[in-house]
Structure formats: C-alpha cells, structure tokens
Structure 1
Amino acid sequence: MQNGRKQIAVWDVFVRLFHWCLLAAVLISFYTTKTDGAPFLFPIEVHAQAGYIIIGLLIFRVIWGVLGPTYARFSTFVYGPKNTASYAKALLKRQEPRYASHNPLGGWMVVLLLLSLSFQAVSGLFLSDDIFFQGPLYGLLGRDVSGELASLHALNSDLLLILIGIHLVGIVVHALLGEHLVPAMVTGIKRFTSAPVDEKPAYRTKYRLLAIGAFLVAAGVCGWLWFYPY
C-alpha cells in the first residue's frame, strides 16, 4: 500500500513483452500493406515475416494463457455472458467494480483480437501474389480455397482495424475513469484505492522455466515458417 493506494503486480514480464512485440509486428504488417512499404525493398516479404512473428507470439500467448501465472490465464479474465452483461450495466451507471486483470468486457476484447489476429496470420500462410510471395502452405488446399482465403484475409484486415480502434477507445475510457492501462502494461503494476474483485496471489518465479519452453516452441514454429524452402 502506497499513499493509500494498493499496488498489485498483475502482468508479468512475459505478458508485457508479448503485448509490445505483438503491437510492433501488427504495425509493420499494416504498414507494409496500407502504404508503399518504403524503405523496404520487398514489402510483401516483410509483411509475411511480420505474420510469422505474430504466429509465434500467439502460440506463446496461448501456452502462457493456459499454463502461466494466474493473471496471464484466460480462465482469470474470460467471463460468462451473465457476468459480462452485469459489468456492462454497472459501467453505464459508473458503478463498475475494479478488476486487477482484464474486466469482463476487456477480456472478451482480448479474445476477439487474438482470434482475428490468428485467422489473419494463419490464412496468410495459404496465399500467393503470383509474383513476389508464396505462403509456406500455398496450394495445400487448392487455388480456389486460397482465393477465398485471400478475400477473407482482406475483410478480416478491416475487422482488425475496427477491433483495434475499439480497444484504443476502451483504453481512453478507462484512463478517464482513473484506470491507466498503458503504464500498467509497461511496469506490470496496477494501483487501486481498494482491493479489486479478482485479486489473486502474486505470480511466482517458478514460471520462468515454462516461459522458456513456451518461447522455444513458438520460436521453432516461427523459424520454420521464416526459413521454409519455397
């Protein structure tokens, strides 16, 4: 407790690294398709490599979300429809409870973003521009299916932008309500005037070995995609 405010170590260093690395990879991915891609010589290749990194990061996050520390686990911040609706009503009345981890609406936003990113990155493996790029799995499902995936890939790109926009609005809203999420994602510490409703014991260092294992699995998949013999 500091200055009457309770400090809780919520997001471990691996969750924070995942978040900022994913942000960088997504920015590069969008930049190489929504602009001329300068100064990259082959923007589509950089776009694909950013996708491979995203796949590796998502694999790590899934493992960490199932086996990692309490606040990193999906089971901690993914709530059922009843709890989510109750939180939404309380939020509209400005009577929302505080959560150490993601609140019910924030938790579902995380899930939607991860699902959309997963589809975007995996579908890209089946695509080809017939000139500079051919995905590692292109042709595996046939040209017709690859063509359909290309259309969905483009549509999901727009959906991702919408989800990211909503996510950013949510961050601003929480900041106005006194919950500053960006500094917390840098330091891992969130501050409260009273105990949050989902307070759990702090994470322990025993998870470091698991983190190394998850990283090696993710890096292995990412490396295979990156150096796949086209």
Structure 2
Amino acid sequence: MKAVKAAVWDLPTRLFHWALVALIGFSWWAAKNDQLEWHMWSGFAILTVLLFRLLWGIFGSSTARFSNFVRGPAAVLGYLRDAKGWRTVGHTPLGALSVVALLGLLGLQIATGLVNSDDDGLVEGPLAPLLGETASDAAHDLHDVLFDGLLIVIGIHVAAIVFYRLVLGKKLLGPMISGRAALDPGTEPMRPGRGWVALLCLVAALAFTRWIVAGAPPLGT
C-alpha cells in the first residue's frame, strides 16, 4: 500500500523549533558584537520558549509528549540495529536522545546566564545578586564553555538530518515546516493537543520568566 500524508508535528512544536533556531542565532550574534543587553533579552526569550516546550512535553500532542518518545537503552539499541524498521510517528529513540541533550544544555546555558556577571560588571543576570562574585564569575566562564557544547550538539543534529535524508531516505526538515509527512500504512498519526492548553502553557512560561526577570522575589511579597 502507498504511504499517505498525515499530521506529525503540531503548530506549537513547530513554532518552538523555529523560534529556538532564530533566538540561538540572534543570541550568538549579539554576544559576538558586544550587544549584551540584546543578548540578555534574547536569553529571556529562550527561557520562555524552553519552559513552554517542557510544559507542552507534558500536556501537548502525542508526538510532543516526552512520555511518548523518550525511551530506554533497549529501544535505542534496537533502533540502531534496524533503523528502517521503525514505524512509530514522531521522534525516533536516537532522535529523542538529541532532543534531551539539546534541552538539557539549553537549560544549563540559561541557568548560568541568569547568574552570570560579565567581566566589567556592567551587565549581569537577574539572579546574579543571589550569588557571590566568585560564583558569578565561574558562571560566566561556564556559560561560554556550555555554548561551545551546544554548538556541537546542534551540529550533530544537523548532520543527523542530512544522514536521514541521504542514507535512510527520510525527510525530516519538510515535516517540521508543514507538520505533515508520508507515513507507512497502519502507522498511527499524531494525536493533536488542545489550543487552549497550549495558550495556558505559554502564559505560565511568560509568568515564570517575568518572575525571574524581576530577580525571583519571594512569592507573596
């Protein structure tokens, strides 16, 4: 039977993906050109979309939920033995490792940025006052190192997309734009999440980011 086009990625997941691509690129540009204020605000935007993705990974569509694609070592090894035999829609077990690594590194990158103080002390993260000068300086150095690690993970991610296209014959880029892909007969398509849930996740992410920008004041004050 012929493969049929079906939904694979929902709109919130796709918007997160491309917003993250743009924001990481802009953050890199801002840092390289000493636009530290813009770099900081871009970091706040990344924090917001990351928090949204974490919430959407719990309450969102079937292919966005971590419980549906983060798998154990046995599934990863099985996929490595027979990649072409994988018939589940969404992230593969190997792709899930890339997603977890990327989100984890982003979380660490943002955390070090929030407590970071630059060499001149002119620009500092909103949580830097909660730490001593020594810890903030260490966070500054770690922030730079983690970005190099992030670039490596992004490079591996891009290389995997090319590998899937040229070796396995699977198109990964197009579906992340259109949301649809050709699925083998019998493959269950994505079960979409609810729009109002996505909106609530976004509001919660914005509220938490606003709290962080304010210096994480004690709740109720």
What TM-score, normalized by structure 2, do the two folds share?
A: 0.89
* CA shift for structure 1 position 226: 5.2
* CA shift for structure 1 position 201: 5.5
Asked whether 1:67 is paired with 2:85, we answer no
Asked whether 1:46 is paired with 2:38, we answer yes
Correspondence for 2:196: 209
* CA shift for structure 1 position 15: 0.5
Gaps of 5+ in 1: none
* CA shift for structure 1 position 192: 2.5
Asked whether 1:140 is paired with 2:118, we answer no
* 2:97 aligned residue (108, 112, 126): 108
Change (3 A) 1:148 1:190: same
The aligned amino acid for 2:99 is V
**Residues 124-145 of structure 1 deviation map (CA, whole Å, 9 limit, x = unaligned):** 0111123431110112121121
Query: Following superposition of structure 1 onto structure 2, how do residues 1-230 of structure 1 map, counting pairs within 5 Å?
Result: 4-33=2-31, 35=32, 37=33, 43-91=35-83, 95-129=84-118, 130-176=120-166, 177-196=168-187, 199=188, 202-203=191-192, 207-225=194-212
Identity of aligned residues (%): 36
Give the secondary structure class of the aligned counterpart of 2:63.
Answer: helix
Q: Over aligned residue pairs, what C-alpha RMSD do you find?
A: 2.0
Q: How many residues get paired?
A: 214
Instruction: Please say if residues 7 and 190 of structure 2, whose CA atoms lie closer than 8 Å, have aligned partners that are also in contact.
Output: no
Q: Distance in 2 between matches of 1:71 and 1:101?
A: 5
**Residues 154-177 of structure 1 deviation map (CA, whole Å, 9 limit, x = unaligned):** 111110010000000001111122
What TM-score, normalized by structure 1, do the two folds share?
A: 0.86
* CA shift for structure 1 position 99: 3.3
Give the secondary structure class of the aligned counterpart of 1:216.
Answer: helix
Gaps of 5+ in 2: 216-221
Give the secondary structure class of the aligned counterpart of 1:191.
Answer: strand
* CA shift for structure 1 position 8: 2.2
The aligned amino acid for 1:153 is H
Q: Which moved more, 1:152-161 or 1:127-136?
A: 127-136
Q: Distance in 2 between matches of 1:98 and 1:175?
A: 16
Give the secondary structure class of the aligned counterpart of 2:181.
Answer: strand
